[in-house]
Amino acid sequence: MPTSPAELLTPDTLPTPVMAGRDFLSNLDMSSAELRSVLDTAASMKRGEWRQVKPLSGLSLALVFEKASLRTRTTFDVGMYQLGGHAITLSNQEIGLGQRERVSDVARNLERWVDGVMGRVYLQQTLHELADHSSIPVINGLSDMLHPVQLLADYQTIEEELGSAAGKRVVYIGDGNNLANSHIHMGILTGSDVTIVTPVGYEPNAGVLMDAVKQGTQITLTHDLSAIDGADVLYTDVWISMGQEAEADIRRRAFRGYQVTPQMLDRLAPHGIFLHCLPAHYGEETVPEATEHPKSRVFDQAENRLHAQKALLYHLLGSAKPRW
């Protein structure tokens, strides 16, 4: 239903930004309470309650890309526009992170022109270098280690479909990659029951698993596909990420049997949903009949990248003032 004028926020009724001026390189860079604020803001934005406010007016965000992008590029750019700000896209051809120019020098330049940086990069260390050498927020738009902005949209989708994520069985199947790692972090923050199903030798990062141990969070690791039975959420990602093309044949053989099909979705709980961060490599980790299945929320999940990232941007930049 359309939002009534009485429900529209004004500059005087905006929530207080809870992560003002901080970096967001991992989901663990926020507390459970801060995650709750971000997800509540995302839901409010999706309902249209922010249409009359432009809280990031006069602010700019640099979008730094080493990797190709559809959802990350579009949603951060549109998100800044809808909040009254501006985004500038910088490809690696233009910057040459660590090659044409030192990462630290890029950071020292950008902090003098823009109010935040989003990086979609190969190495997590690149993001840490950007953050260590600049005074403005740096956001992880994807790295080899983590994909935290994606998980914000994922858990917004889970809450829309299932209510609270606490106690829900979230089963990730496939490569123990950056998505699997970030699912573990979200299990720590939300109390969801996270299971990671991988072939032998493709388990998640040991350091990320240790994060869960330190927090006393139980994460289930298994190679047994029966773990999907009765799951509330089934999640997969590509088997061959950008930069792993040389391993393609080896990986296809290793992951044989891990493809998400409509028959696999029938094994979920009756209310269970299927999620995929996209792009999908159809014929490998899934098939079109799965992403178009009645239990699929893949495209709702993609839409929520916009709302969740707008909420994150507000909570990181909402206290900043234009410097010109």
Residues tagged active-site: 120, 147, 150, 237, 277, 305
Please state whether the peptide bond connecting residue 279 to the residue before it is cis, i.e. omega within 30 degrees of 0: yes
Closest CA to 95 of 86, 85, 84, 105: 105
Question: Between the CA of residue 155 and those of 43, 158, 183, 191, 309, what are the distances in Å?
Answer: 11, 5, 10, 12, 12
* Buried-state track 176-215, b at ≥16 Cβ within 10 A, e below 16: bbbbbbbbbbbbbbbebbbbbbbbeebbbbeebbebbeee
265 φ, ψ to 5°?
-65, -25
User: Residue 133: CB partners within 8 Å, gap ≥ 6?
Assistant: 103, 104, 107, 108
* Structure token digits, residue 308: 């969740």
* Rounded Cα distance, 52 and 79, in Å: 15
Contact 255, 175 (CB under 8 A): yes
Q: Nearest-CA neighbor of 157 among 292, 28, 276? A: 276
Show Cβ contacts of residue 117 under 8 Å, excluding neighbours closer than 6 positions: 61, 62, 64, 107, 110, 130, 134, 136, 137, 138, 139
Distance CA 295, CA 275 (A): 9
Cα 149 to Cα 85: distance, rounded to the nearest angstrom: 19
